[in-house]
Amino acid sequence: MSTMATALTTQVYSIFIKASPEQVWEAITTPEFTEKYFYGVPVTITAETFDGGASAQGAVVEFDPPHKLVHSWRALYDTETAAEPESRVTWEIAAQDGGVSLLTVVHDRLDESPKTAESVAGGWSYILSGLKSVLETGKGLAG
C-alpha cells in the first residue's frame, strides 16, 4: 500500500471475543484452529517454538497459558521479509465480565524490518477477525 505510514515499528491490535481465556489460548496455539483463520496455515506453538511451517517461524520467549505468549517473528512467505531481522509478537489475553476475553496482539521491534511491518499491518486485523469468528461461530471467514 503506497499510503502506508512510515512509523509502523510498533503495531497494536485488540479484539473482544466471547470465549474464555483458555479457549482463546487453545485457538492460538493449536494447528486445527489456526488453519481456519491464519491464512490456512497450521501453526503449532509450544513453550519453545512458534512453528508456522514455511510461512513464519519464531522462538517462544514467554509462555504463560492462558494469559501471555511472547515469541520472535520471521515471516518466510516472502523472500524480502525473510531477509529482515526478527521482530517480536506479544499476545495478551485478559478475562472480562460476561464470559468475554480481551485479546491484544503487539507486534514490535520492527524498526529494522520495514517490509515485514508493511506486510503484517493488514494481516493481523484479518487474522484476529477470523479468530473471533472461529471461536464465536465455529467457522472462519468466508473466502
Q: Which residues bind another protein (CB under 8 A)?
A: 5-16, 104, 106, 124-126, 128-129, 132-133, 141, 143
CA–CA separation, 116 and 131 (whole Å): 21
Provide the minimum distance between the beta carbon of 134 and another protein in the complex, in angstroms, as a whole number.
13
Q: Compute φ and ψ for 119, nearest 5 degrees.
A: -65, -40
Buried b (16+ CB within 10 A) or exposed e, 29-64: bebebbebbbeebbbebeeeebbbeebbbbebeeee
Provide the minimum distance between the beta carbon of 92 and another protein in the complex, in angstroms, as a whole number.
10
- By C-beta, is 82 or 88 nearer to another protein? 88
- By C-beta, is 31 or 123 nearer to another protein? 123
Provide the minimum distance between the beta carbon of 83 and another protein in the complex, in angstroms, as a whole number.
24
